[in-house]
Amino acid sequence: MPIETFLVSFTTYFATIGPADIVVLFAALTAGATAAERRAMVFKGVVIGGAVLLFFVFFGEPLLAIFGISLPALRTAGGILLLLISIDMVFARSSGGTSTTDEENAEAASSSDISVFPLATPLIAGPGAIGATILLMADASGDPPRQVAVVAGLLLILMLTYLFLLGATQLQRILGFTVLHVISRIVGVLLAALSVQFIFDGLMTSGLLGRMSL
């Protein structure tokens, strides 16, 4: 059902893009910027990051065909990647799939404009979000309403990310680090269950389990 696909898409993108986590880092990296500079960086970063993800919405499957990657393999690999991200979310650890490294943070701190790096990529359009995009679209292949639901989930998360970033300082002050981390951990638990389901589906559709039982 499209509504179910939309909810799965929304939850997955909330976890892999992580608006709550981006808010904290953005507020820290733009502490010396003016309000106008922050607004410009937020707009540019979300537009570029969204464009990167939309590229994989439309061209992710052809890329799979070029490299000879089957849908069951993608489901299994994507499920493992999302599971690792969800574990990091639950235990409040930094993950290379949804965050930046110490070296990237140091480079960003020396730049006055962080809209392209690290905001657009890898914070918004990171490995986790790109992998999730290809996986969700491939899973909805041949079903236009479900594909539209995936795109709708992505666009809604991008809109929330934009709004969160515009009010980054105020949001962080009102909610505090604790509430933001609690939200991330709850979504992490949901993502863990979803990622395991992706792994199960990948193994079942691959036919590997059937051959092993013979």
Instruction: Quote the mean pLDDT of the chain.
Output: 82
What is the structure's pLDDT at 43? 96
Residue with the two structure tokens 């559709």:
205
Q: Indicate whether 206 pLDDT > 80.
A: no
What is the structure's pLDDT at 158? 97
Give per-residue pLDDT as tens, 78-123: 888 888 878 887 887 665 555 555 655 555 554 568 899 889 988 8
What are the CA-CA distances from residue 187 to residues 58, 84, 103, 136 (Å)?
Answer: 27, 13, 27, 17
Q: Indicate whether 44 pLDDT > 90.
A: yes
Which DSSP category does 116 fall into? I
What is the structure's pLDDT at 155? 97
Region 5-13: mean pLDDT is 93
How much of the chain, in percent, has pLDDT values that exceed 70? 82
Hey, is 99 helix, strand or coil? coil
- Number of neighbouring beta carbons within 10 Å of residue 26: 26
Q: Are the CB atoms for 95 and 128 separated by under 8 Å?
A: yes
Q: Are the CB atoms for 42 and 162 separated by under 8 Å?
A: yes
